Structure 1
Amino acid sequence: MAAPNHTPGEGQGGGRGPARVSQADKRQLEQHPVDVRRIAALFGPHKLTILVVVLLISASSVVGLAQPFLVRGVIDDALPNRDVGLLGWLVGAMIAVAAVTAVIGVVQTWLATRMGQQVMHALRTKLFTHLQGQSLGFFTRTRGGDVQSRLTHDISGMQSVVTSTATSVASNLTTAVATAVAMVALSPRLSLISLFVLPPAIWLSRRVALLRRDITSKRQAELANLHTLVEEGLSVSGVRLAKTLGTTDRNAGAFTDSSERLIDLEMRSQLAGQWRMATMGIVFAAIPAAIYLAAGYPAVSGGMTIGTLVAFTALQATIFRPVMGLLNVGVQWVTAMALFSRIFEYLDLVPEVQPPVDPVRIDPATVRGEVRFEDVRFAYGDGAPVLRGIDLTVPAGTTTAVVGPTGSGKSTLGSLIPRLHDATSGRITIDGIDVRHLHPDDLAGIVGVVSQETYLVHATVRENLLLAAPEADDDELWDALSSARIATLVAGLPDGLDTLVGARGHRFSGGEQQRLAIARTILRNPRVLVLDEATSALDNTTEAEVQAALDRLAEGRTTLTIAHRLSTVENADQVAVLDAGAVVERGTAVELRSSGGAFARLAARQLADDELLAAA
């Protein structure tokens, strides 16, 4: 679902626009048709603005056509008769016409641009809000670049295409009609000649546009490839990967090859259709020449004056641009509809995790925190079941560790409590209330999550912490950092709380990132805590430091710990062992180890792996 390649400014007339419909646009519209009434509804609040813009465009086109007639008056009347007064009036009128059309153009552009920006702002914010309501499954299936492309590039493209197309249609139509009428009024005979010389000029122009469109499409694809190479090769993670794998020369070679292909495409784009363009130049030169020649024959000229001939030639040159613009309307329309189709496709997505229609409101501070899984089953889409009939109670204020082999469903089980996913059947309750019935804000205040994949935004330490508690003061921030056992480190930084964490927190080590995330969760002060393998990627020393911070965080809270290393579950009030999506054992770590069941086998296997690793 990659964004189609559209070059800003293409398709706006003047012989530069695309002459054929993009196949990607056609496929998009076939898969997701667009109801025009839905688009009209977006512009519903701006009916008056649209009417004013159309009237201004029409007025500008009509007023502008006075110019050739004023020129005729200057040449035929004022100058030959040395009528200075008339000359002054005519020249003043010419300046006035130019000034009026310029002012009208500025006002029309301002109104149309403001309207387009308001419509796109409403659509952009609506799409962003809607996508935030999608489940994790959507973002797992969808490339991040596709989401960003639709939210930024497509909507920006829509604003450009819709505003420009709507205004250009009105402008080109009125200009073409008014110019044709003026030409007939000046000289019906010469107007007939135009019927013969205009079609070849238009045909040649569209042939050049077709050739350039094909090259432009390839150039845009190569630019996208170059952008990807830059994004992947010059990000923090990309540079680190290249240096550790020794692929810097290979990456530079790929970038060089792509850049060289761009040179070729740019050259072809600039030189595209030069012979046809040269031919067009001859045709354009031949048009006034043919008119002058025809004017020399009495049968054609009918006593035509020099002023009329000059005015007609000016109109003849004027009519070409609006006619070409109108010929491109069909392509512009499909382009605009394809962009709307892509946006509406996302807006029509039904979130897998739906907010409750009539939510139960509860003060998070009053929650005891008992969590129950009642016959919980879950599967990703139409896939095989991941959880099979889970019945598990986590008493308020206690810690339950969930262990099991890779793929047993541990992380999925933890993700159901904060509603990152919804159970396929069964239910999860907190203090007897189904989590699906709780208001999303209340649920977020009750349940805190610390996962293995810590995410810090590219901002300061302070700003990252304030995400959890926007009203927290510095004392509260330092208390949270102290509880997470990272206050000393932050205090030792030159900028303290105002230190930038870097892209995805790369300013800090993995363990330090985890402790910052723990401090952020402490500020949130949740009654229920989900720890999803929060220390599995850390070395032993760092794991001990982070585990101490987690133990401090878990004090007095209901905690579900998804554990990879069994050494971290010794102090849990109960341990639940998952295998193939079902709870196969339950008890304390001591009880399960002595029973010789699944937990004991996991512990023995992990011990053997640790010994092999130590021996290596």
Structure 2
Amino acid sequence: MRRGGELSSPAIPPSSPAAGAPPAARGDWSTLKRLFPYLWEYKFRVIAALAFMVAAKFANVGVPLLLKELVDAMDIKPGDATAVLAVPVALLLGYGLLRLSTTLFTELRELVFAKATQGAARSIALETFRHLHALSLRFHLERQTGGMTRDIERGVRGIESLISYSLYSIVPTLVEVALVLTILAVKFDPWFAWITIAALALYIVFTVMVTEWRTQFRREANEFDSAAHTKAVDSLLNYETVKYFNNEDFEAGRYDQSLERLRRARLKSQTTLSLLNTGQQVIIAIGLVAMLWRATQGVVDGRMTLGDLVMINAFMIQLYIPLNFLGVLYREIKQSLTDLDKMFTLMEKEREIADRPGALPLRLPSPLGEGGGGGDPAGDDWTVRFENVHFAYESSRPILHDVSFEIPSGRTVAVVGPSGSGKSTLARLLYRFYDVQQGRITIAGQDVRDVTQSSVRQVIGIVPQDTVLFNDTVEYNIAYGRPGATREQVEEAARAARIHGFIASTPKGYDTMVGERGLKLSGGEKQRVAIARTLLKNPPILIFDEATSALDSANERAIQSELKSAAQNKTTLVIAHRLSTVVDAHEILVVEAGRIIERGTHQQLLALGGRYADMWALQQSAESEQFGEVMGM
């Protein structure tokens, strides 16, 4: 591929196996490190949340200690009213305050850290969204929208789950375990600490090993879930096609196959989850019995008080509750990391078409017909040139072969030829959806690869052959050509595209919803909305890619005059199948198998008697036959 101005032979496109190798699996720590900068933007909230978390755990550990003092304080002599009033009441108040402090610090932690969590999720989701829009057309032609949107949805949710489970559950539990072990080792004999450590170690090892084994079933279930969602979305987006071929049962069968695979995967996941939970409960029960047995022996031997026994039991219950969910937490954290990694993988998807480092915006020449403005680089105004262009979507199937032509500033050049000859590829290359493998394309004397993509697309307006609209109002879809345009400007563009009368005749006018992909409008109506959108943008360079292909003859002739007026003093590339729409072009290029085989004006090409003349005669004959059939009805 051309780099830095030199010419090279065609490179292997990114879709080939050499360039499309799957990314290496990212480790959990790598995913966490990738997430950390987004959280560290809220460093003061992170530090405050950690401080509140530690304070909450200190208060929580203090509850059993105070409960022990309360139980021991109840060992008083009958009739000692002073002790009853002084000691237990104070301890009860302290006990209540510690309980309240635990809840208060926990809520403060969540309140403080909520902004960091939601802010990080928003930043990552927005960055992913922007990056997906920045990826090449090749990526979006190969994507599966349903699965990709589900990956983004799960990734955003995974951020919240990961932070919630780790900061709100795992880390606090580890802090509490450390505090309890310290108290048991210092206050009593070390065996209490060793029993607790052994139970915890066995519990954690068992949980991690079984959960790692179970991850394959959870991942498999997620893949089947994405596949089922993709099939459902794809089928619903193509609702009309399904109806045309009466294939509702076929689509339901395909969807049911995906759901059946999902059901089996989820059953495996649930079965192994039951195994995990049973094993955890056995380990916890053994550890708890061993601790209470030793504590009971201590009370019997007089080495420990009844309050010590109550305290140890309370400690075990406090540890038992979060430990009971450790398997679930670990599994969810692993799943959140997997989901987050998928979204990071999307974010790191390499751009096939990227601005070069330090690329500057396209230098704007003098506005056509105004004489002033920002200078005229190389004296080219808005001239577009294709210079010895070679291009292939795949290395094994070249599309364009040494194509060279010029669209002089303010002139119209038409490209005609059979389907698959490479006509629409010219528009895609000019718009820089792809980069040429050899040669170059210039606008105003500047190679489109040396300037920013945004500045190139800002000066080009296109009416595509296949018009897709947003599921919004007619006004929104027309105004999309110039966000912020007034209703009057939108209506003016609609009048120029000959669709204002139709819009005004509908009950809601410009507030009419066009439906998913504009399916509530006819093909001709959608195309006229696309024309209005481009006319509203009013760029200096226009591309009409079969712009009137969905219109009837009457409307085609009417709009053709509007397009001709819109192209006045603009650099225009017209891609056409019907030759009658390009007879007034300043130059017509006949393209076949990716090569320009003829060029000239309409009259010159007819006089040449070559491929164009044959195409013209064939289309005239077909139109005459259609006219005769209509008149004979």
Q: TM-score scaled to structure 1, two decimals?
A: 0.82
What does residue 108 of structure 2 align with?
107
Is 1:132–2:133 an aligned residue pair? yes
Report which stretch shifted further, 63-72 or 267-276: 267-276
Q: Give the gaps of 5 or more residues in structure 2.
A: 1-21, 78-82, 370-380
**Shift of residue 50 of structure 1?**
2.8
1:211–1:273 Cα contact (<8 Å) kept:
no
Which residue matches 2:531? 518
C-alpha distance in structure 2 between counterparts of 1:448 and 1:435, whole Å = 16
Give the stretch that moved more between structures: 566-575 or 263-272: 263-272
Q: Structure 2 matches for 1:171-570, cutoff 5 A?
A: 171-188=172-189, 189-194=191-196, 209=211, 213=215, 215-233=217-235, 235=236, 237-256=237-256, 274=274, 277=277, 281=281, 284=284, 287-297=287-297, 301-320=301-320, 332=333, 336=337, 339-340=340-341, 342-343=343-344, 346-347=347-348, 349-354=350-355, 357-362=359-364, 365-366=367-368, 369-380=382-393, 382-436=395-449, 440=453, 442-537=455-550, 540=553, 543-544=556-557, 546-570=559-583
What residue number does 1:28 align with? 25
Mapped partners of 1:345, 1:256: distance in 2: 28
Once the two structures are overlaid, the 10-residue window that deviates more, 385-394 or 203-212, is: 203-212
Cα distance, 1:171 vs structure 2:
1.6
**Other structure's SS at 1:559 match:** strand
- Structure 1, unaligned stretches of length 5 or more? 1-24
Q: Is the 8 A contact 2:147 2:227 kept in 1?
A: no
Give the aligned CA root-mean-square deviation in angstroms: 3.9
1:563/1:251 Cα in 2 relative to 1: closer, same or farther (>3 Å)?
A: same
Query: Deviations along 1:204-261, whole A, 9 cap, x unmatched?
Result: 666775676555444434433443343234x3x4321221111112333444565566
State whether residues 158 and 339 of structure 2, in contact with CA within 8 Å, keep that contact through their aligned partners in structure 1.
Answer: no
Closer, same or farther: CA 71–33 of 1 in aligned 2, 3 Å: closer
Paired residues of 2:181 and 2:196 also in contact (CA < 8 A): no
Q: Which amino acid aligns with 2:420?
A: G
| C-alpha distance in 2 between matches for 1:84 and 1:461 | 78
User: Are 1:69 and 2:65 an aligned pair?
Assistant: yes
Q: Which residues of 2 match residues 23-62 of structure 1 at below 5 A?
A: 28-29=25-26, 34=30, 39-62=35-58
Deviations 1:456-476 (A, max 9, x none): 111111111222223432222
SS in 2 for 1:497: helix
Q: Aligned match of 1:576 in 585, 589, 597?
A: 589
Tell me: CA distance 1:264–1:28, structure 2 relative to 1, closer, same or farther (3 Å). Answer: closer
Residue 120 (str. 1) matches residue 121 (str. 2): yes
Determine if contact 1:455/1:505 at 8 Å carries over to the other structure: yes
Q: Describe the superposition over 1:456-512 as per-residue Cα deviations: whole angstroms up to 9, x where unpaired.
A: 111111111222223432222222111111111000011111111111111210100
- In the alignment, the residues of structure 2 paired with residue 26 and residue 372 of structure 1 have an alpha-carbon distance, to the nearest angstrom, of 38
Shift of 1:187: 3.2
Query: Which range moved further: 449-458 or 123-132?
Result: 123-132
Q: Deviations over 1:371-420 (max 9, x none)?
A: 33233333336454432332222233332210122222211112233333
Letter in 2 for 1:173: L
Q: How many angstroms apart in 2 are the aligned matches of 1:178 and 1:156?
A: 32
508-517 or 331-340, larger mean C-alpha shift: 331-340
2: CA distance between counterparts of 1:380 and 1:365? 35
Q: Deviations over 1:141-173 (max 9, x none)?
A: 444346535544324423432564355453232
Name the counterpart of 1:3. none
- Does residue 144 (structure 1) correspond to residue 157 (structure 2)? The answer is no
- Judging changes above 3 Å, is the alpha-carbon distance between structure 1 residues 160 and 568 closer, same or farther for their aligned structure 2 residues? same
Residue type at the aligned position of 1:246: N
When the two structures are aligned, how many residues end up with a matched partner? 589
Contact 1:375 1:389 in 2 (8 A): yes
Amino acid at match of 2:547: A
- Quote how far apart the aligned CAs of 1:576 are: 0.6
Q: Deviations over 1:258-284 (max 9, x none)?
A: 556666666666565657756755665
Q: Is the 8 A contact 1:530 1:561 kept in 2?
A: yes
Query: Per chain length, whose mean CA-contact separation is higher, i.e. which structure has more relative contact order (CA < 8 Å, sep 6+)?
Result: 1
Alpha-carbon distance in structure 1 between the residues aligned to 2:545 and 2:242: 30
Give how far 1:450 is off: 0.5
Q: Does the 8 Å CA contact 1:414/1:530 hold for their aligned counterparts? A: yes
Per-residue CA shift, 1:95-151, capped at 9, x if unaligned? 111211112111212333322332333333333333333332332344434653554
Letter in 2 for 1:75: V
Amino acid in structure 2 at the alignment position of 1:311 = M
Whether the 8 Å CA contact 1:458–1:505 is kept in 2: the answer is yes
- Corresponding residue for 2:80? none
| TM-score (normalizing by structure 2) | 0.80
Question: Can you list the C-alpha shifts for 1:315-354, whole angstroms capped at 9, x where unaligned?
Answer: 1233346668888769947963873475256336245242
SS of equivalent to 2:115: helix
Flag the 1:553–1:44 CA change in 2: closer, same or farther, 3 A: same
Q: Secondary structure at the match of 2:469?
A: coil
How far apart, in 2, do the equivalents of 1:345 and 1:316 lie? 44
Q: What SS does structure 2 have at the residue aligned with 1:572?
A: coil
Instruction: For 1:28, give the aligned amino acid.
Output: A
Deviation at 1:516, TM superposition (A): 0.7
Contact 1:377-1:424 within 8 A present in 2 as well? yes
Q: CA deviation at 1:446?
A: 2.8
Q: Secondary structure at the match of 1:148?
A: helix
Using the alignment, how far apart are the partners of 2:128 and 2:542 within structure 1? 31
The amino acid of 2:361's aligned partner reads P
Q: 2:147, 2:226 within 8 Å by CA — same for their partners in 1?
A: no
In the aligned structure 1, how far is the partner of 2:163 from the partner of 2:172? 14
Greater displacement, 311-320 / 595-604? 595-604
Query: Which stretch shows the higher mean deviation, 493-502 or 583-592?
Result: 583-592
Q: Distance in 2 between matches of 1:124 and 1:293?
A: 53
* Distance change >3 Å, CA 260–CA 575, structure 1 → 2: closer
Aligned letter for 1:572? Answer: A
Give 1:586 deviation, angstroms.
Answer: 0.7
Tell me the SS of whatever aligns to 2:41: helix
Q: Give secondary structure in 2 for the equivalent of 1:93.
A: helix
Separation of aligned partners in 2, 1:555 and 1:601: 30
Counterpart Cα distance in 1 of 2:181 and 2:616: 89
AA partner of residue 479 (structure 1): E
Tell me, in whole angstroms, the C-alpha distance in 1 between the residues paired with 2:349 and 2:266: 39
